[in-house]
Amino acid sequence: MQPEYHQAITRRPGPGIVRGLRERDHGDPDPTLAHDQHEAYVSQLKACGLDVDILNADPALPDNVFVEDTAICLPDCAVLTNPGAPSRRGEVASVHEALKRYYEVIHRITAPGTLDGGDVLEVGDHYFIGLSARTNEEGADQLIQILNEFGLTGSTVIFSGFLHLKSGVSWLGEETLLLTEGFGQLTAFSSFDQIVVPDNEAYAANAVMINGRVLLAAGYPETLALVETAGFETVTLEMSEFHKVDGGLSCLSLRF
């Protein structure tokens, strides 16, 4: 079963987003357009029934709009990450302060472990943890130990071709995954019902299911048709400016 979410934490994009990390050059994002796209995203979270805690941008931290990478929100505790990119580690402190309003128990991933929230895919009581340039085995092991303390399980996934695990796979509830063809061939996901996005629409594999509604990036009609044919209610959102700095829909919020 997909959990019912009640709360989200987001952070506004600031002008510094033009300095955001990226693996490929797709041009600099437009801060004004990024702000407008983020506002539409927040509006949709609210339409899905969430209370949204919006943090202010920190001009010294250009990637901090991607708040998902800073924490893992479990049912009974939160886990602060240790982001793999050193320039992003300063983002965690303010998210910690925000999470204190909602969680009594907060754990932390510590060095030499590194972990980005974008590498952690929740599927019911199990969490798949992608080993990437941002998340290492030590960080994954620390998270698995915390999961086990709360009656949850975790396992690691080795993948390639994407910055984060959730760049290429999303859980849509029950036994359904939205993923790229390459991710669909991974043993970890072979037993699931798969909606496979076309190679030319790989960005659309990063989606968010919230309280029965699937949020998808706009501009990917084949993926949209596949998800709707599978019986899901959908909403599309413009993500062009966040795509330029390797961000997707899931990256923009912590949902719990």
H or E element, residue 70: none
Helix, strand or coil, per DSSP, at residue 150: coil
Per-residue burial over 207-228, b if 16 or more Cβ lie within 10 Å, else e, is bbbbeeebbbbeebeebbebbe
Q: Which of 38, 73, 107, 251 is catalytic?
A: 251
Instruction: For residues 227 and 151, give the distance between their C-alpha atoms in angstroms, rounded to a whole number.
Output: 32
Judge whether 35 counts as a catalytic residue: no
Instruction: For residues 165 and 95, give the distance between their C-alpha atoms in angstroms, rounded to a whole number.
Output: 22
Instruction: For residues 152 and 136, give the distance between their C-alpha atoms in angstroms, rounded to a whole number.
Output: 20
- Contact residues for 43 (Cβ-Cβ < 8 A; gap 6+): none
CA 239 centroid distance within chain: 14
Q: Which of 26, 73, 164, 243 is catalytic?
A: 164
**Token pair in block for residue 31:** 């801060």
CA end-to-end span of the chain = 14
Residue type, 155: S
Judge whether 164 counts as a catalytic residue: yes
Q: Please say whether the beta carbons of 52 and 21 come within 8 A.
A: no
CA 87 centroid distance within chain: 19
Identify which of 233, 213, 231 has the alpha carbon closest to the alpha carbon of residue 50.
213
Catalogue the active-site residues. Answer: 164, 251
